[in-house]
Structure 1
Amino acid sequence: MAFPDWVMLDPYVFRDGPFPDDDPTAAIGHNSRGDKVGVRFLLRAPPEPSSIFLDWEAGTGDCDDFSVVAAHRDAVLFQMGYLVSLGSSNAYKAFDYLLYRAAGAGGSSPSLDLLAPFGGSVDELKARMEADGLIRLTNQHLRRLKCLDIGVLCRDGEEFAVAELQITRSEVGPELHVLRSSTSSRKWELKRPPITPANGGSLDLEKFLWDWDADTVIPFGSYLCWVDYCLGILFCDMFDENPQLHYLEFPADVRGACFGGCCQAVGVTNGVMKLVSLVPDDGLIAENYTPESGFTIVCWTLRMDEMDKMVWEKDAVLKSDHLWSMLKPDFLWPLDEFRFITTNRFPRVQFPLISIDDSSVIYLVLAQNGRVEEAGYNYDETWLLAIDMSKMTLKMSFPYIEDEMGDPSPEMLAFAEDKFWRFEPFLAADFSRHFNLRCPRHVLLKPAEA
């Protein structure tokens, strides 16, 4: 069985799984404090999610974390965070960025490379501490903990750019920190791009800077696109020596009508940007949608009109009544081990995702309250749904967290609890298609079986 052309990458990172030496997805690197770090993937075709496995023996501290940040073409960007001791009673949360590259056309093995330190090396942090007596925590540092403002963009060959955009309400304006492989220094550069309306006209910059709060970063052509799901998108050409930020609003009927990534998503399918939004019928912002709450799933495509202006074109609409009617027990759960949707267990849909290779398909997370008292741990019974918006049908479903997991391993128990308390959107990525290998058996095993 070949690797899938694209994957829904689960942000949860498994730390206790096996790390076989012959795994064709595995790569080894080191962080800035010298720790050995290994990453491998369990790759499956959607709607089954693909998993990340981490081998980081030194990363056992309470503040040691590892997150997948972004992906484009054969690249996956990871962020590592850990405390750095800056004296007898001082510590600072430092971040490393590691770039994973899948096997190239020559069949080379995957790589995991440490990028230049962002915010200073450990020695530079210590020197700053000695000179100033403290290092201030900024709002941007806190946003960095959530991986909100950074993305990766690849171009032909091995060229890439990694960038973080900082939007503040100060007179300084936006700060764009860029690391490009094409520069000889391979260090971060500071740019101060102006913000302009994408289609001309005026922009209340003071209000914009006050309201802007990016949720994610999307690669699109030569652009990285910072997305605020309540406002719109900032487009920035990452290979322009003098970049600008071009602001495009979302359609009027979806602006401000969402709860971040819980009910809205931007993605790119075959080079075309798409927007999907779960819009409440009553106009009230909601975090999730149940059979009792009327809503509409609306899909938009970004196009250029005859005046060369970017416009959102509505191309698919699905009412919630139709969605719930297609989720029939004998169709969605034909096997005995699947459970029925029951109203008293609060079924809801969230976290839309756009297919990378089929413009008519979106994915949704369907969850209902688990039987926590019986199980003895917190979890939500969860499925992943593939919806064909052109045919208004359920294309496929996958039981993500089942109602009865038997005697789960400690790792699977931690997984279910983590999803219960802080479910995060999946990351659409196509690095899997860049492998020139066939999948051996151990790559196809589920995490609980591996």
Structure 2
Amino acid sequence: MRIPTTETETGTGTRIPSHRRRKGSSDGSRARADASRRGPTPTKETEIPGRPLKRSSSTLSLDDAAGASNPTSTWAILNRYGARRDSFRRDDRDRTTSAVSYTSGGDQISVSFELVKPPETSLLTLDWPQGPRPSLGTTSYPYVIAAHGNVVLFQIVSPDKHARPSAIDYFVYNASRSSSSNHHPSLTRLPVSYWRRGDTIRPRIMSREGTCILSCGSKNSSSFVVAELERRSCQSSETNVYLFASGSDDWRVFRNVPIRHGDALAHLCCWTTDAVLSCHDRYMIWVDYLVAGMIVANVEHPGRVDPPEPVLWYVPLPVDPVADIDRGRGCPQASRSLCATHHGIKFVNVNQHGGSSSRSFSITLWSWHEDQTWREDATLDAAQLWELDSENRLPNVRPEFPVVDMENPYAVCFLLNERYHTADPNATTWMIKVHMKKKVLLDCTGYSNKGSSSTARRMSEGLSFISSEMPSYLSGKTIKRFLEGPLWPATHDAIEIEENGKMGFPKKQKKYTGKLAIDADYTDAEDERHLENAMTSNSSAGGLR
């Protein structure tokens, strides 16, 4: 299939404008700056409160041409903060996705989702009529901690009516794996986890960055495991694991669990979890982007109410650790992202060149393979990215918070937030999706600052996104999560650590030359099919949604 690089007929009667910006042209630079300041053109878009801006019917887009043939997706990008709905009128409740439970204070709550197709971002929505007023700030909104398969873990802060400290309630939204209409989503409040010091017992506050959830049920059961790593000593290659299995009444604590290959890593003493993810119904992963590694847990028999102690081991990422962590962590999630997709584990690194004020950057996409190696899939630099924006609509800022498409292993979604870089009240916020291998802008969405949903999105600024397969379960269309084959060897001995104590790469790992290594598990025919679907169902070359 030929990729349109000039104005080309698509076969549907829609023409794709793709005039190129001339390199070194001052007019082009001024046009980009003007377009960024203008934001979405008000005469061509219709603003709907709480929704992304959509193109008006006067402009025919590729979405219009495709119609409703592919209106949904099997996955979604969740914002960290959810929205408040607070309406229990029975006629308005979403009977398909709503689930009801009670807080520790006895308040009834209902949870559902506002799901849209990526790169647009979706929201967990909370009905809490007896809860704190939304005007009280972020503590009155739900916060999404982790997601995997048909489950989403989130927290809400319940104000105590008796002047005691606020209680943090943790809930798991569980969409049934069964396609039967008799199975509805459920909402489970987790029991309180306690810590003991001498004779003192107090509730634990779980880490929002370090708590992971694993969906591990069968077709007719929806079990899950929640786990948190707690590193008590910077000098030890051991960690405590707090684990809760659905169906049990309490948390289990596994103390001083060894991290295999961790004793030779000098940087492990600086470990701070930046992100979590799960895969394969048995693996839970904790990531430190500055240490440039991940701790993987193999949860044996995860469907049991009393699973055994998990096996932990360390796997390095295909980038160097940050040399001087003592200067502060900043926000590593903005430039590095480890993602679980239907085709395996992917890693994205946005490398900025020339200092913090520079707009020069390069993006690299990696994949983890069954031979225990990282392979480079594709690269994209700043000039190549802006060449894809033929309409000069996107703000010229560094892409942040990457999320790999769960369906297409070469498509990556990014946030472009002009408000991070200017005090202009008309600064724009965009989500874009780029095919890294084919160098094609697949889709982009501009967001308004108005509407109830925009409050949750504004509160989520500066926070990483979470990938979720919830749409596939709520639609009754469960999908196969990964290709066949083990993600890691059963012995976990394939990771090589250099003798000098520095972090080494896995065995058989070749030096990273910057050349493209084709993913053998993903054929070119599949790649062409994904690209063709995107070109015929999504707006292309900078279209506004």
Q: TM-score range by the shorter chain?
A: 0.7 to 0.9
**Distance in 2 of aligned mates of 1:265 and 1:28:** 33
Give the letter aligned to residue 213 of structure 1. T
Corresponding position: 1:393 with 2:449: no
**Deviation string for 1:233-285 (max 9, x for gaps)?**
00001236132321111124475698411111111121410000101234x5x
Q: Which of 153, 176, 180 pairs up with 1:77?
A: 153
Identity of aligned residues (%): 23
Q: Is contact 2:432-2:441 (8 Å) kept?
A: yes
Residue number in structure 2 paired with 1:294: 360
Corresponding position: 1:368 with 2:418: yes
Q: Which of 25, 37, 48 pairs up with 2:97?
A: 25
* TM norm structure 1: 0.75
Structure 2 gap segments, 5+ residues each: 1-67, 302-307, 325-329, 478-545
Report the secondary structure of 1:322's partner residue.
Answer: helix
Residue number in structure 1 paired with 2:370: 304
**Distance in 2 of aligned mates of 1:275 and 1:245:** 20
1:83 Cα offset (Å): 4.6
**Deviation string for 1:280-332 (max 9, x for gaps)?**
234x5x5xxx7x43221001111233xxxx221111111111112222326xx
Residue number in structure 1 paired with 2:249: 186
1:373 Cα offset (Å): 8.1
Q: Is contact 1:3-1:433 (8 Å) kept?
A: no
Residue number in structure 1 paired with 2:73: 4
Quickly say closer, same or farther: Cα 1:417–1:43, change in 2 above 3 A.
closer
Q: CA RMSD in A?
A: 3.3
**Distance in 1 of aligned mates of 2:422 and 2:381:** 31
Residue number in structure 2 paired with 1:427: 466
Q: Which of 151, 163, 168 pairs up with 1:95?
A: 168
**Distance in 2 of aligned mates of 1:373 and 1:3:** 36
Quickly say closer, same or farther: Cα 1:366–1:170, change in 2 above 3 A.
closer
Paired positions, count: 381
Structure 1 gap segments, 5+ residues each: 334-339, 439-450
Q: Is contact 2:225-2:245 (8 Å) kept?
A: yes
Residue number in structure 2 paired with 1:443: none
Quickly say closer, same or farther: Cα 1:413–1:383, change in 2 above 3 A.
closer
Question: What are the residue-to-residue correspondences of 1:42-81 with 2, within 5 Å?
Answer: 42-60=114-132, 62=136, 63-81=139-157
Q: Which of 195, 215, 223 pairs up with 2:283?
A: 223
**Distance in 2 of aligned mates of 1:302 and 1:413:** 36
**Deviation string for 1:371-390 (max 9, x for gaps)?**
99886xxx741111000011
1:417 Cα offset (Å): 4.8
Report the secondary structure of 1:236's partner residue.
Answer: strand
Quickly say closer, same or farther: Cα 1:315–1:41, change in 2 above 3 A.
same
Q: Is contact 1:370-1:381 (8 Å) kept?
A: no
Give the letter aligned to residue 103 of structure 2. N
Report the secondary structure of 1:329's partner residue.
Answer: coil
Report the secondary structure of 1:433's partner residue.
Answer: helix
Report the secondary structure of 1:46's partner residue.
Answer: coil
1:106 Cα offset (Å): 1.8
Give the letter aligned to residue 376 of structure 2. K
Q: Is contact 1:41-1:52 (8 Å) kept?
A: yes
Quickly say closer, same or farther: Cα 1:230–1:170, change in 2 above 3 A.
closer
Quickly say closer, same or farther: Cα 1:170–1:10, change in 2 above 3 A.
closer
Give the letter aligned to residue 101 of structure 2. G
Report the secondary structure of 1:304's partner residue.
Answer: coil
**Distance in 1 of aligned mates of 2:407 and 2:185:** 23
Residue number in structure 1 paired with 2:232: 168
Corresponding position: 1:418 with 2:430: no
**Distance in 2 of aligned mates of 1:261 and 1:434:** 28
1:189 Cα offset (Å): 0.3
Question: Higher Cα Rg: structure 1 or 2?
Answer: 2
* TM norm structure 2: 0.63
Quickly say closer, same or farther: Cα 1:238–1:58, change in 2 above 3 A.
farther
Corresponding position: 1:280 with 2:343: no
Corresponding position: 1:115 with 2:190: yes
Corresponding position: 1:327 with 2:389: yes
**Distance in 2 of aligned mates of 1:259 and 1:398:** 24
**Distance in 2 of aligned mates of 1:279 and 1:374:** 26
**Distance in 1 of aligned mates of 2:429 and 2:86:** 22
Report the secondary structure of 1:348's partner residue.
Answer: coil
Residue number in structure 2 paired with 1:384: 431
**Distance in 1 of aligned mates of 2:415 and 2:225:** 31
Residue number in structure 1 paired with 2:273: 214
Quickly say closer, same or farther: Cα 1:164–1:294, change in 2 above 3 A.
same
Give the letter aligned to residue 333 of structure 2. G
> Which has the larger displacement, 316-325 or 167-176?
167-176
Corresponding position: 1:177 with 2:242: yes
**Distance in 2 of aligned mates of 1:72 and 1:417:** 24
Residue number in structure 2 paired with 1:242: 309
Report the secondary structure of 1:324's partner residue.
Answer: helix
Q: Is contact 1:7-1:50 (8 Å) kept?
A: yes
Quickly say closer, same or farther: Cα 1:208–1:380, change in 2 above 3 A.
same
**Distance in 2 of aligned mates of 1:6 and 1:382:** 22
Structure having the larger proportion of residues in strand: 1
**Deviation string for 1:19-46 (max 9, x for gaps)?**
6224411111112221111111111111
Quickly say closer, same or farther: Cα 1:371–1:117, change in 2 above 3 A.
closer
Q: Is contact 2:343-2:409 (8 Å) kept?
A: no
**Distance in 2 of aligned mates of 1:3 and 1:13:** 20
Residue number in structure 2 paired with 1:446: none
Quickly say closer, same or farther: Cα 1:372–1:383, change in 2 above 3 A.
same
**Distance in 2 of aligned mates of 1:350 and 1:166:** 28
**Distance in 1 of aligned mates of 2:375 and 2:322:** 15
1:112 Cα offset (Å): 0.7
**Distance in 2 of aligned mates of 1:73 and 1:360:** 21
Give the letter aligned to residue 186 of structure 1. D
1:159 Cα offset (Å): 2.3
